Amino acid sequence: MADGYRLLEVEFPPLPASVLEMDDVSAYDVAKANLNLAIDFAKSFAQDNQRVTIMLPDEDELSIALENQGGSDSPYPGVTISALRRSEEGEKDRIFKPDQIFLNLFNSGKSGNVKLVNGTDIYVCIVASAQELPDIEELSELEPEKTIFFYNLKLDVLRGDLGAPAFPGKDFQDRFLSRVKPVYYLRTRQYSRSTSRPPFMVNYQGCLFRSYPGQYQTLLDTGNGRYRRVLGSDVRPALGEFKEQLTQALRDQGVIDEEGKALSFLRTGYKTTTWWEEERENASDSWKT
């Protein structure tokens, strides 16, 4: 924030990996955990006399959140829980025509409902989907001088939905999401690979970690909750590059066999980047530096 960045990403697992992998863990459980974490996150700013508003996508999500908080939208002095899209008084009782409902399903007619919260210094946006990201863009246009945190939104996953029917177009990455600066980023990934000798299948995992203004670090999971730094980079590695860095670390240890170019190509293909990781003419490089 002191360096002038206003669109900031914070990403880390909201629950332990062992819990997230359980079959009975729902999106509701994850959302509840993210709200509690966001409140704790907001407290540190509120203690600095900054007013923080935690923004949920809409009033339905807000109602669930307030129910979890005992009905209070002010869980801590200087911290407020609100919604990006809020109805005017009396709008909730309006009768909508079928064609209006149909358009709303495709993200039409919602922009006028995005409302700022007067007196807010920092917004913390949680549990938004790809279809709801344009509402955050509109909030940033209404409050260009205010800081907006994209808090555990899994932007990497949401970017993959851009361009699909009923979702924002791929230009949304270039125009807006590419400007979001990852300031605390911790994403774990699991892989498996066959080998020519026992145990014939190697499961391995690692994480990509960054704490601004430090480097992006590729960390290999060595077991028992411990990680070993493999590489550091000033530029965020593409997902395919990150996987190859972990794989090469295992080759160096002799865990995985070296392969010929032909077999390596068959494993990885000719392309190791997603469309949004490629160089794009109109995009900012904030998302990867």
Mean pLDDT of 212-218: 97
Residue 103 has pLDDT above 60, yes or no: no
* Phi, psi torsion values for 202, nearest 5 degrees: -115, 120
Same-domain pairing of 105 and 218? no
Q: What is the pLDDT of residues 55-100, one digit of tens each?
A: 999 999 999 999 888 888 999 999 999 999 988 754 554 444 444 4
- Radius of gyration of the chain measured on its C-alpha atoms: 21
Same-domain pairing of 136 and 52? yes
Same-domain pairing of 165 and 222? no
CA torsion, points 141, 28, 188, 179, in degrees to nearest 10? 0
User: Residue type for 257, please?
Assistant: D
Same-domain pairing of 170 and 194? no
Mean pLDDT of 37-43: 97
Domain that holds residue 103: 7-179
**Beta carbons of 167 and 131 less than 8 angstroms apart:** yes
Residue 190, judged by CB atoms within 10 A of its CB (0-12, 13-18, 19+), counts as exposed
Q: Crossing angle for the helix pair 27-46 and 59-68, nearest 10 degrees?
A: 80
Domain count, the chain: 2
Same-domain pairing of 31 and 160? yes
Which residue spans within the chain are E strands per DSSP? 7-11, 52-56, 79-83, 122-125, 147-151, 181-194, 201-211, 216-223, 226-233
Q: What is the Cα 269 distance to its own chain's centre?
A: 27
Question: Torsion-angle region of residue 135: left (phi > 0), alpha (psi -120 to 50) or beta?
Answer: alpha
Strands 181-194 and 201-211: antiparallel
Same-domain pairing of 144 and 211? no
Query: Using 50, 70 and 90 to split pLDDT, how confident is the model at 35?
Result: very high
